Amino acid sequence: MSDEAHHLRQQVINRVLQGPGVSSPEARRAAFDNTGANSSTRDLTSKVVQNAWKVTGNDVAAAKATGASDDEIFELVIAAALGQSTRQLDAAMRQLDEVLPASTKEGQ
């Protein structure tokens, strides 16, 4: 990944985790890390991380029924999805680093 792409991706992560929002930065970090976001959204964010394609309106409604606002749900779902995509990208890049010769990487 180019330095510019890495820098831009990091800016997005920083904004999601530390920028202004309804949910606390700690809750967004927990959703990003998949380490037990608050109980009202834990099931939803875990499902986003593990099986995002299976999330339904019922999952969102269940989070709302426990007291989470639309904005909080949105922020935590984005944080969870961004965290999972970051873990997947990092794993893919590590695999590429293991299999590609150093001379191939120099031409990036």
Tally of structural domains, the chain: 1
Q: Is residue 80 packed enough to be buried (19+ CB in 10 Å), middle (13-18) or exposed (0-12)? A: buried
Quick: pLDDT tens for 22-38: 999 999 999 999 997 67
- Structure confidence by residue, pLDDT tens digits, 69-78: 999 999 999 9
Q: Which domain holds residue 65?
A: 3-106
pLDDT exceeds cutoff 60 at 105: no
CA–CA separation, 12 and 44 (whole Å): 22
